[in-house]
Structure 1
């Protein structure tokens, strides 16, 4: 009998301790925070790969001969598009969230170094004074190609639109999940 009473007491104490834990947790509702929205914006980056050819063409005349030195470098460029997370802002008015989301922009643009192999370089020389293709010429050619790639990506309205839409979708999913967790329904107004 004493064992049963002590078992009942232990069970009751455990039940009250669980009930105490549950009530403390249910009082504190998770809130939608600007920092969390910014974190989502950081992960909403769209990464695209562009296949391109960089070209360097040098022509000069040595005496009466035309000399030619051409270089083609085939490479893959990686462009990342997204929103500037420092410009994201949010105002909360009850269950209405007004989120200021900046236009998407090109965040980075670089040449994928793994795409550069010996087969990526094609050199053509004609004439006596054509000269060598130096490392400086190769570097300058890649740099120019990278600038051209960034310019082309900035003009790619579809890419920028997709990056902006991706950020909106991920933020909307987060807000909806927070609403499900708290039992609230949130309305998002984009600004």
Structure 2
């Protein structure tokens, strides 16, 4: 009876040892292969590629409705010819996008600091919605008729004026700030292996 009891105790002791060994193995496996995705080991090239992919998020869009008047009079050796004035008024909707060229952003990781150099913001696109165009007070002057060229040149002139206006209102400054803020937020959201300080400066 004592012998059976001794065998039972020895078997229990062995089972405890086995459980402890298994627990230790799982502990070290967990250290080597933690649950979930591994933190990203970041490199300058990898981070640069990821930053360039957020170009649309780093832009500012300005939608507007504008009305402008075109007027032209025929001239002869610098003299305006009477009764040759042509004019029209146009109303239209437009959209301006401003931001930075993400393809030239420079990224360098030095120690625990991520250095990001961004270009100055600029107007990336400017479109006029052709379906929104309305023409008012169009003259019918047989001596100086309105042509397609007049409409096209007027559209170009209006675009230049609107771009100058939005620049004066601080659209490029807003685009610059948003781009830098977006980049900083994006980097902070990455599951990086280490903590980094982010420094963003403008390219000279």
Tell me whether the two structures share a fold, i.e. TM-score over 0.5.
yes
Tell me the residue number matched to 2:15: none
Whether 1:143 and 2:153 are equivalent positions in the alignment is no
Query: Per-residue CA shift, 1:51-70, capped at 9, x if unaligned?
Result: 22233212248xx9534221
Specify which structure has the higher proportion of helix: 1
Whether 1:46 and 2:60 are equivalent positions in the alignment is yes
Structure number with larger C-alpha Rg: 2
Local SS of the residue matching 1:30: coil
Unaligned runs of 5+ in 2: 1-25, 76-80
Root-mean-square deviation (CA, aligned residues, Å) is 3.0
Report the CA distance between 1:162 and its aligned residue. 1.0
Tell me the residue number matched to 1:187: 197
Q: Flag the 1:52–1:144 CA change in 2: closer, same or farther, 3 A.
A: same
TM-score, scaled relative to structure 1 = 0.71
Tell me the residue number matched to 2:40: 30
Report the CA distance between 1:173 and its aligned residue. 1.3
Aligned length: 165
Selected match of 1:56 from 70, 76, 88: 70
TM-score, scaled relative to structure 2 = 0.67
Local SS of the residue matching 1:133: coil
Report the CA distance between 1:149 and its aligned residue. 2.5
Q: Flag the 1:149–1:187 CA change in 2: closer, same or farther, 3 A.
A: same
Residues 79-158 of structure 1 correspond to what in structure 2 (within 5 A)?
79-116=96-133, 120-125=134-139, 129-153=142-166, 155-156=167-168, 158=170
Report the CA distance between 1:122 and its aligned residue. 1.1
Report the CA distance between 1:110 and its aligned residue. 1.9
Report the CA distance between 1:160 and its aligned residue. 0.8
Contact 1:54/1:142 (CA < 8 Å) preserved in 2? Answer: no
